[in-house]
Amino acid sequence: MDIDTNSHHGQNQSVVFINYFNSSCRFDEEFKYILLPVSYSLVFVVGLALNALALWMFLKKMRPWKPSIVYMFHLALSDFLYVLSLPTLIYYYANRSHWPFGVAACKIVRFLFYANLYCSILFLTCISVHRYLGICHPIKAMTLVKSRHAHLVCCLVWAMVTACLVPNLIFVTTSQRDNDTLCHDTTSQEAFDQYVDYSSAVMVLLFGIPFLVIMVCYCLMARALCRPRRGLSASQQGGASRQKSIKLIIVVLVVFAVCFVPFHITRTLYYTSRVLDLNCEFLNIVNFTYKITRPLASVNSCIDPILYFLAGDQYRSKLVTALTGKRQTTSGRSPDHAQTPCLLLHREENREKEGLTSTGPV
């Protein structure tokens, strides 16, 4: 953690002593030496398997890539790189906060956590905006949005997140506690106020704004999906594109509700309680909830692959074919830009015109 600690060796529990401003606080942090190694181990095993499988699918079975696949590939790559760093954190917390890997490794591991966090948020935003365009502006999306545009957007996401997190590499450091080396997840006590200002700005830019964009897109998508379209049958109204869009909305909202929103709320409360020198009891509660939401923020690496399976274009059928060797038959096409009611109506009108032309006047 990012606080000054003194452990009492020979005792069964770890007592942490925090000095900040003109007050001090004691509390027990024994829970984190069980919670964090276990949770990170589960995320590592599940996330490594699912994201390795997803990357293999995207690289070997899903070419040529459509724009939505481009975003999903980069999301899986971000998750995969992050889970590769988890063994060091598992060792760190299982060894009761002793970091033997050096300052550079500490900076890289903490950087990868936030890089994955904010890259995941931005790539989910790209996927959501892309699906919004496919539902609400299908003609423009099909003619204007190409795979090369998606690659360019992904490069911009990586560049922006890296640029925003460069100061984090400078802030993060290690310190000595008795015979142990601590790898701080924020910074030293002397630079903590500056770090809070910096992390707050990053949170607004890379979490707050994308979250608002996603909510606006989903509200507009929900309105378009719920509006009945004249001239369409019941089966066309509830087609595959509609179901995929609903699944996308559900999965992304679950990721934000479970992983991103709780983490940013508790982290903000924790930072604020330290800066404002709030009472020890409240700091105990906030510290406990903050440490619980840290592994929850990592769980997105395990939930994201569910998005590919439920809402990815042909991902499920190609995965089943790859694993079983049996080709699945699908009832309809699943193009990159979904068959929205607008497109279906347009096709129905074209069919009627073609029928009139072929039969000629009576």
Contact 25, 283 (CB under 8 A): yes
Contact 35, 295 (CB under 8 A): yes
Over the stretch 94-122, which tens digit does the pLDDT of each residue have? 999 999 999 999 999 999 999 999 999 99
Report the C-alpha gap between 269 and 262 in whole angstroms: 11
Q: What is the pairing mode between strands 23-28 and 174-177?
A: unpaired
Q: Which of 51-60, 175-184, 219-228, 324-333 has the highest mean pLDDT?
A: 51-60
The least confident of 46-50, 58-62, 71-75, 104-108 is 58-62
Count CB atoms within 10 A of the CB of residue 28. 12
Q: Which residue has the higher pLDDT, 233 or 127?
A: 127
Closest by Cα among 107, 104, 112, 103 to 85: 112
Q: Is the per-residue pLDDT at 40 higher than 90?
A: yes
Contacts of residue 86, Cβ cutoff 8 Å, sequence gap at least 6 = 40, 41, 43, 44, 47, 298
Over the stretch 198-226, which tens digit does the pLDDT of each residue have? 999 999 999 999 999 999 999 999 888 88
Q: Which domains does the chain have, with CATH numbers?
A: 31-225+239-322 (1.20.1070.10)
Q: Which long-range contacts (CB under 8 A, 24 or more apart) does 234-237 make?
A: 236/341, 236/344, 237/341
Share of the chain above pLDDT 70, in %: 78
pLDDT recorded at residue 361: 38
Share of the chain above pLDDT 90, in %: 54
Q: What is the pairing mode between strands 180-183 and 23-28?
A: unpaired
Q: Is the per-residue pLDDT at 345 higher than 50?
A: no
pTM of the model: 0.83
Q: pLDDT category, 52, cuts 50, 70, 90? A: very high
